[in-house]
Chain A
Amino acid sequence: MKNILIDIVLQRLVIGIFILFGVSILITLGVEALAGDVCSAILGQAAEPATVAACQAKLGLNDPMHVRYGNWLVNAIQGDFGTSLANNREVSEQIGKRLGNTLYLALTTAMFAVPIGILLGVIAALYRNSAIDHIISTTTLTTISSPEFFLAYILMAIFAVKLGWLPAISNVSPSMGFLERLQASALPVATLALITVAHMMRMTRASIVSLLASPYIEMAKLKGLTPGRIIIKHALPNAWSPIIQVVVLNLAYMVVGVVVIEVVFVYPGLGALIVDAVLNRDLPVIQATAMVFAAAYVLLFILADMLSMLANPRLRHRR
C-alpha cells in the first residue's frame, strides 16, 4: 500500500523533471530569438560596433547555442541564474524576494478562497435550481468571464479612490507587520479571491451534482435521509478527489493570474518582474522567471494528481 504510493510519487516526479527539462529548452529557444539585437537595444542605435561586440562577448552571445544552454543549465541547477542586464543584480536574489511576495499573495488568497468556494459550491448543489443557486451561479459566471483587470479596477475605484479605505498601490516590504501587510495587499488578494472562489464554487457544484445521479445516492434518498445529510455524508467524500484537483489547479491558475493583478496594483511580485523584464529585454531575468512559473505549474499539476489519488483509493490501482 505505502509502496504503491511512493512509486506513484516518484514516477510523477520523474515525469515532471523530464517535462521541466523540455520546458527549459523551449524557453531557451524563445529567449534565443530575443537575444539577436539585445546589445544594440541596450546600448542604443548609435553605439560603436566595438562596444556592441564587447557587450555580446560579455553575454556569451558568440558561443554556439548548445554551449550557452549547457552553461546556463549547469549554473541554474546550482541556483545561479546569472545577473540582470538592467541593474546588474543577481537574478536568483531578485527572484527569491519576489517569489516570497507572490507566494504570500497566493497563499493569503487561498486561505480565504478555498473554504468560501467549497462552501458556496455545496450550498448551490444543496439548493440547486433555487433562487440562491441562480444568484450564486450567475455571479460566479460573471467573475469568471471578466478579465482580471476589470475586477481589479472596479475594486480600486470603489475602495481606494472613492472610499479611501485601502491603498491603490500595494507596496509591501519585508519590514511590515502582519496586519499592515495584509492591508497593503488587501485589494490584489480580494481580486484574486473573487476569481478563484468562482472557479472553485462552480467545479464543486458540478462534481457534487454529477454524483447525485448515482445509485447509492438514490438509495440514501429512499432511506429517507435529509438532503443535507446526503450531500455531506454520502456525496462529499466521493467529491473530494475532483474538489482537491480544482483547488490545486486554481493555485496553478493563480500563479499566472497574478501577472496582470500585480501589474495593476504595482505589487512587487514575480509577475510584475517578468513583465518588466520582457519590456526591457532582460534575458537572464526572463529565462529564470519563466522557468519558475513553469516549474510551479508542473509541480502543482503533479501535486493535484497525487492528492486526488490519496483522496480516492480507486485511482491508485489504475494499471
Chain B
Amino acid sequence: MTYLSAIWDDLNLSARIGLGIVLFFTTCGIFAPWLAPYSESQIVGDVWEPLFGEFFFGTDQIGRDLLSRLIFGARNTMALAIVSTAVSFTAGAVLGFIAATMSGRVDQVLSRIVDVCISIPTLIASLIVLSAVGTATQTLILVIGIIYALPVFRIARAVAMDIEVMDYVEAARLRGEGLWWLMRKEILPNALTPLAAEFGVRFCFVFLLIASLSFLGLGLQPPLADWGAMVRGNADGIAWGFLHPIMPAACIALLTIGINLLIDRWVHKASGLRDDQ
C-alpha cells in the first residue's frame, strides 16, 4: 500500500487525471456485463432516440442502447489493443534482442528488412493486409501486432545495443552462456524499464490505428461493439444534427488523452529532461 501511495504522491495533477480516466475505462471494460443496462446486440428502442431521454445516451442507428454499447466497446476495443500491443512487443523485442546480441549478418538482414517494411505507412499496410486475410479477431491481433513489431524492433535493438557492450554481458559470453540466456537473463531485465515506458506510447498508437481501421470498416465484426465502428455506423446521423457518432469518438479521444497524460509524466521522468530552467 505504501508503494502505491508513493507512486500517487509522485504524480502531478495532470497525471492523476490521466490515471483516473484510465482506471474509469478499465473498470467499465472489466465489469461491462454488470454495468451495462442492456446487452450489446439487443435492440431496445427506435433509431437515434435522443440523448439523456429514456436511454442515457440515446440509441444507435438500429436502435441499440448507446450507453451499453459504449461500455461493451470499452471492453472489446481496449482488450484488442492491449493484446495487439503485447504481441508487437513480444515479437519486436525478441527479434530486436536477437539482432543486437548476434550482431553481424543477422543484424544486417533483420535491420534492412525492417527499413523497407517501415517505409509503408502503417494504415496503408494494415488496410491491404486486412482486406486480404479478413478481419477475424485473431487475424486482427496478429496483423496489427506484426505491423507494430517493426518500430518496437528498432527501439528494442537500440536499447539492447547499449546493454550488449556492458562488461557483465561480456562476462556471461565468456562463461559460455547461450543466446537465449544472454537475452533473457542479461539484457531483458535491464531493457525492461525503457521498454515499459514505450509500451504506453505504442499502446496509444495501436489504439488509434484500431479505431481508424474499424472506422474504415476493417475492424471487429458486428454485432460486437467497437468504438471506431460505432462512429462509422452512426456517422449519417450527424447530418440530421444527432451527436451520437461523437460519443464513441469522444471515448476514444478521452482514453488516449488519459494514457498520454499518465505516460507524459513517466517519460519525462525517465528521460531526465530538464524543463525548469
A residues apposed to B, CB below 8 Å: 19-20, 22-23, 26-27, 30-31, 33-34, 128-129, 138, 141-142, 144-150, 153-154, 156-157, 161-162, 168, 209-210, 212-213, 255-256, 259-260, 263-264, 274-275, 278-279, 281, 286, 290, 293-294, 297-298, 301
B residues less than 8 Å from A157 (CB atoms) = 238, 241, 243, 246
What 1/0 mask marks residues of chain B from 205 to 239 whose CB sits below 8 Å from any chain A CB?
A: 00010011001111000000000100100010011
A255 touches B121 (CB 8 A): yes
A141 touches B257 (CB 8 A): yes
A297 touches B257 (CB 8 A): no
How many residues from B make CB contacts under 8 Å with A?
A: 49
With A27-B128, A290-B124 already in contact, the answer to whether A19 and B250 are too (CB < 8 A) is no
Instruction: Select the stretch in B28-36, B97-105, B268-276 that faces chain A.
Output: B268-276
B residues less than 8 Å from A27 (CB atoms) = 120, 128
Beyond A27-B120, A145-B259, 5 additional pairs, beta carbon < 8 A: A23-B119, A141-B260, A147-B252, A149-B212, A153-B246
B124 touches A141 (CB 8 A): no
Closest Cβ neighbor of A162 among chain B residues: B241
Could you say which of A22, A279, A293, A301 contacts B124, with CB atoms under 8 Å apart?
A293
A26 touches B253 (CB 8 A): no
A278 touches B131 (CB 8 A): yes
B253 touches A147 (CB 8 A): yes
Which residues of B163-220 have CB atoms within 8 Å of chain A's CB atoms? 204, 208, 211-212, 215-218
The distance from the CB of B145 to the nearest CB of chain A, in whole angstroms, is: 16
Closest Cβ neighbor of A280 among chain B residues: B131
Top 3 closest pairs, chain A to chain B, by CB? A22-B116, A146-B253, A150-B249
B residues less than 8 Å from A149 (CB atoms) = 212, 215, 231, 249
Residue B107 lies at the interface, judged by CB distance under 8 Å to chain A? no
A147 touches B238 (CB 8 A): no
Closest Cβ neighbor of B251 among chain A residues: A150
B residues less than 8 Å from A290 (CB atoms) = 120, 124, 128
**Alpha-carbon distance A149/B250, docked complex (angstroms):** 10
A213 touches B249 (CB 8 A): no
Kindly name the residue among B119, B217, B252, B275 whose own CB sees the greatest number of chain A CB atoms within 10 A. Answer: B119
A residues less than 8 Å from B204 (CB atoms) = 145
With A34-B128, A147-B253, A153-B238 already in contact, the answer to whether A26 and B245 are too (CB < 8 A) is no
B119 touches A19 (CB 8 A): yes
**Alpha-carbon distance A148/B231, docked complex (angstroms):** 12
**Alpha-carbon distance A195/B260, docked complex (angstroms):** 15
18 residue pairs bridging A and B, Cβ less than 8 Å apart: A20-B119, A22-B119, A27-B128, A30-B132, A34-B132, A146-B257, A147-B208, A147-B252, A153-B231, A157-B238, A157-B246, A256-B122, A256-B123, A256-B124, A264-B235, A275-B216, A278-B127, A290-B120
